Chain A
Amino acid sequence: MKLLIVEDEMELVKSMVSYFTPQHYTIEVATQMDEALEKILMHDYDCVLLDINLPDGSGLRVLEKLKQEGKMEGVIIISARNAIEDRIKGLDLGADDYLTKPFHLAELGARVSAVVRRKHFAGVNLVRFEEIEINMNAKEVTVAGEPVILTPKELNLLLFLLANKNRVISKSAIAEHLSGDEAEAFDNFDFIYAHIKNLKRKLTEAGAKDYIKTVYGLGYRMEAID
């Protein structure tokens, strides 16, 4: 999978690179608009992460260029601007998603994976992980062919873990993913523990191995067992 990160803040770029690299993404970086325009004409990417405020222009121009050229790249705008108009403008221009800084890398991981999935599986949209299979269209989960009934929250949680597999995901990233910004009101994250526990139970009862690991003090990680 090829990812283009268009962002002028090098420290943020470095974080994204080191987060995505172990996930088998090939990553290229453009820190300026011109550089980004050049790169999108020369290569095809699966997903472009696009900052709007670039030193030599607006990232929205990169988006316009992509659409003019009829490119199929998925585009996620990552911007410090949260103004509704910017969001609407970006989405109107054909961006697939919009993320406001600061964000959880895990959240970005989930968004990228969702965009890539949509672009790649136009027809049958299946997510596979070992013996677990998720039919995205029917919202059905099977473990080795056996259906597992999950609540929408549990399914959402499973997809979030899978999008960030082999990575440690913090409880607050999970909380925010599951309930939006309202995670603010939580005085503890026990409810995440409850959701994780239920998900693990349902999966293992259906015959899946226990892939969801608790990382003490930090959060959770889903990984294949060697």
Chain B
Amino acid sequence: MKLLTRFVRHYIIYSAILLVISTPIFYVVVQSLFLEEIEEELHEHVTEFVRAAPHIKSTTDIEQYSNFNREITIHEVTHPITKDSLYTIHKYDSIEGEEVPFRILRSGLQLHGKQYEVIIQESIFENEDIIEAIVLAQITLLALLLIGLVVINRNMSKKTWGPFYGMLERLKSFDIRSGEVFLAAEPSIAEFRDLHNELTSLTKRSTQAYLSQKEFTENAAHEMQTPVAVCMSKIEVLMQSKELSEEQAALISELYDASKRLSRLNKNLLLLARIDNEQYPDKETVSVKSTVQDVITQYHDQVSQKEITLLTQLETDIKVATNPTLLEVLITNLLSNAVKYTERGGNIKIELRDNHIHFANSGEPLAESTNVFQRFKRGQLSGVGSGLGLSIAKSICKVSGFDIAYGYADGMHHFRVDFKR
């Protein structure tokens, strides 16, 4: 939900509540004021009548008066009316042509020794009319208020929230890998300036943390190379010892394999760090087809050793402007991955089409949540590879602007790289 929508929604809800509450209050207030006014008028009327009463000479006069004044009815009564009473009745009104409410004042009058009842009536507005008028006035008022608010808000938000949206846009395009600094114009509103300052220092800190972490990976891998080299060379020298027992030879061999794995892991970590640090900037136009063919040649032994059927469809060539080393590493890692995880006697398919390359290899499906491109996420055959091959492939695709995707279908693992030409 947008900020403005949220504001407007709250205004509308508030206005509706206001309307619901205020209408009856207004109604009650207006009506009571109105009735008060009418009652005052009725009393005045009676007072006037009573003052004029001594001039009335006969009963006929009273009857006549009564006939000429629609509002006043005078009857002779037996008991004297000592107390005035007020009430409302509905009766047919010939002018309006419908039943209308009347406010009635009943009062008593003593004239020439006779008791009279004086009834004065005044028609009052129908309730519905009042409510209708009030609601209409209210709605008009609130609508005008709301429109005004929205318009003012929109204009204000454009001006006031402008820096905020500017920072938001800037934050969206912020890429920690690029090493750029978060730069946006400093807003004049205090809260936004705080936000801006916090964002600036936050992004600065994250960039620093990211850089030092990147640097750390590379340095650590780099520093490890020498001890690993020493370790491997010592084992190789140890291997030359005469008269090693079988047990010793086995131990040396195991040590050697472990140090070899360590070395490979280290090389891959270093490679990954270098790719992520974009240390392979040089680009040239490379033929994917010939790269694939070269890599396949290198893997000939492994493929035939595992009795894997390798099917290739390399009729169409793709020329890509990229770093040739990275492209070779990418293809190598994908094929290496396929060879590693294909069971003895399985199949591998490599297909070049349009502007993508497709690797497929037979094998059991992976656990569903497995992200194959994550570092150190291997299939069931852990210990086979360094666990970095596909992360490296993913990183290469990222820095080269390719898309890589994994899927499982028809008993095959599929990897597809889209070279966006």
- Please report the C-alpha to C-alpha distance between residue A22 and residue B232 in the assembled complex, in whole angstroms: 19
How many A-B pairs with Cβ below 8 Å?
119
Q: A168-B240, A172-B256, A179-B298 are contacts. A184–B228 as well, Cβ < 8 Å?
A: no
- Please report the C-alpha to C-alpha distance between residue A33 and residue B346 in the assembled complex, in whole angstroms: 54
- Please report the C-alpha to C-alpha distance between residue A103 and residue B260 in the assembled complex, in whole angstroms: 9
B305 touches A190 (CB 8 A): yes
A15 touches B263 (CB 8 A): no
B229 touches A12 (CB 8 A): yes
B270: chain A residues within 8 A (beta carbon): 82
A191 touches B301 (CB 8 A): yes
Q: CB-CB contacts of B199-222 with A at 8 A, as 1s and 0s?
A: 000000000000000000000001
* Residue among B244, B302, B384 with the highest chain A CB neighbour number at 10 A: B302
Q: CB-CB contacts of B244-267 with A at 8 A, as 1s and 0s?
A: 101001101100110110011011
A15 touches B385 (CB 8 A): no
Q: Is B15 among interface residues, defined by CB-CB distance under 8 A?
A: no
Residue on A nearest B263 in the bound complex, by CB: A102
Q: Is A218 among interface residues, defined by CB-CB distance under 8 A?
A: yes
Q: Which of A65-111 contact B (CB under 8 A)?
A: 80, 82-84, 100-106
B267: chain A residues within 8 A (beta carbon): 82, 100, 181
A69 shortest CB reach to chain B, Å: 30
Q: Is A211 among interface residues, defined by CB-CB distance under 8 A?
A: no
Residue on B nearest A15 in the bound complex, by CB: B233
A106: chain B residues within 8 A (beta carbon): 236
Q: CB-CB contacts of A155-172 with B at 8 A, as 1s and 0s?
A: 000000000000110101
Residue on B nearest A11 in the bound complex, by CB: B230
- Please report the C-alpha to C-alpha distance between residue A105 and residue B233 in the assembled complex, in whole angstroms: 6
From B252, B266, B274, B302, A179 is in contact (CB under 8 Å) with B302
B236 touches A170 (CB 8 A): yes
Residue on A nearest B244 in the bound complex, by CB: A218
- Please report the C-alpha to C-alpha distance between residue A19 and residue B237 in the assembled complex, in whole angstroms: 6
Q: CB-CB contacts of B300-311 with A at 8 A, as 1s and 0s?
A: 011011100000
A186: chain B residues within 8 A (beta carbon): 302, 305
A178 touches B280 (CB 8 A): no
From A22, A179, A218, B301 is in contact (CB under 8 Å) with A179
- Please report the C-alpha to C-alpha distance between residue A102 and residue B226 in the assembled complex, in whole angstroms: 7
Q: Is B318 among interface residues, defined by CB-CB distance under 8 A?
A: no
- Please report the C-alpha to C-alpha distance between residue A213 and residue B416 in the assembled complex, in whole angstroms: 45
- Please report the C-alpha to C-alpha distance between residue A153 and residue B297 in the assembled complex, in whole angstroms: 12
B339: chain A residues within 8 A (beta carbon): 185
Q: CB-CB contacts of A200-226 with B at 8 A, as 1s and 0s?
A: 000000000000000111110000000
B230 touches A185 (CB 8 A): no
A22: chain B residues within 8 A (beta carbon): 240
Q: Which of B156-190 contact A (CB under 8 A)?
A: none
Q: A84-B280, A172-B257 are contacts. A182–B302 as well, Cβ < 8 Å?
A: yes
Q: A18-B237, A172-B256 are contacts. A104–B232 as well, Cβ < 8 Å?
A: yes
From A19, A80, A105, A217, B226 is in contact (CB under 8 Å) with A80
A167: chain B residues within 8 A (beta carbon): 240
Residue on B nearest A17 in the bound complex, by CB: B237
- Please report the C-alpha to C-alpha distance between residue A91 and residue B250 in the assembled complex, in whole angstroms: 39
- Please report the C-alpha to C-alpha distance between residue A172 and residue B232 in the assembled complex, in whole angstroms: 12
Residue on B nearest A79 in the bound complex, by CB: B225
- Please report the C-alpha to C-alpha distance between residue A46 and residue B340 in the assembled complex, in whole angstroms: 41
- Please report the C-alpha to C-alpha distance between residue A179 and residue B301 in the assembled complex, in whole angstroms: 8
B384 touches A187 (CB 8 A): yes
B232 touches A184 (CB 8 A): no
- Please report the C-alpha to C-alpha distance between residue A187 and residue B239 in the assembled complex, in whole angstroms: 22
A164 shortest CB reach to chain B, Å: 10
B233 touches A12 (CB 8 A): yes
A51 shortest CB reach to chain B, Å: 10
Residue on B nearest A189 in the bound complex, by CB: B305
A218 touches B336 (CB 8 A): no
A187 touches B340 (CB 8 A): yes
- Please report the C-alpha to C-alpha distance between residue A180 and residue B222 in the assembled complex, in whole angstroms: 21
Q: Is B386 among interface residues, defined by CB-CB distance under 8 A?
A: yes
B226 touches A9 (CB 8 A): yes
* Residue among A105, A153, A180 with the highest chain B CB neighbour number at 10 A: A105
B279 touches A83 (CB 8 A): yes
A84 touches B325 (CB 8 A): yes
From A9, A80, A185, B302 is in contact (CB under 8 Å) with A185
B253 touches A217 (CB 8 A): yes
- Please report the C-alpha to C-alpha distance between residue A219 and residue B256 in the assembled complex, in whole angstroms: 11
B336 touches A101 (CB 8 A): no
From B236, B252, B257, B299, A105 is in contact (CB under 8 Å) with B236
A80: chain B residues within 8 A (beta carbon): 222, 225-226, 229
From A9, A178, A217, B250 is in contact (CB under 8 Å) with A217
Q: Is B347 among interface residues, defined by CB-CB distance under 8 A?
A: no
A101 touches B225 (CB 8 A): yes
A172 touches B302 (CB 8 A): no
B125 shortest CB reach to chain A, Å: 95
Residue on B nearest A194 in the bound complex, by CB: B305
From A15, A83, A104, A217, B274 is in contact (CB under 8 Å) with A83
Q: Is A16 among interface residues, defined by CB-CB distance under 8 A?
A: yes
Add 17 more A-B contacts to A19-B237, A82-B271, A101-B229 (CB < 8 A).
Answer: A12-B226, A18-B240, A83-B274, A102-B229, A102-B232, A102-B233, A103-B232, A105-B233, A167-B240, A178-B301, A180-B298, A181-B264, A182-B302, A184-B336, A184-B386, A188-B305, A217-B249
Which 5 residue pairs spanning A and B have beta carbons closest together?
A15-B233, A102-B229, A217-B249, A101-B229, A80-B225
Q: List 14 A-B contacts (CB under 8 A).
A: A9-B226, A15-B230, A18-B237, A80-B222, A80-B226, A80-B229, A102-B231, A153-B301, A167-B240, A170-B253, A184-B264, A186-B305, A194-B305, A216-B246
Chain A residues engaging chain B, CB cutoff 8 angstroms: 9, 11-12, 15-16, 18-19, 22, 80, 82-84, 100-106, 153, 167-168, 170, 172-173, 178-182, 184-188, 190-191, 194, 215-219
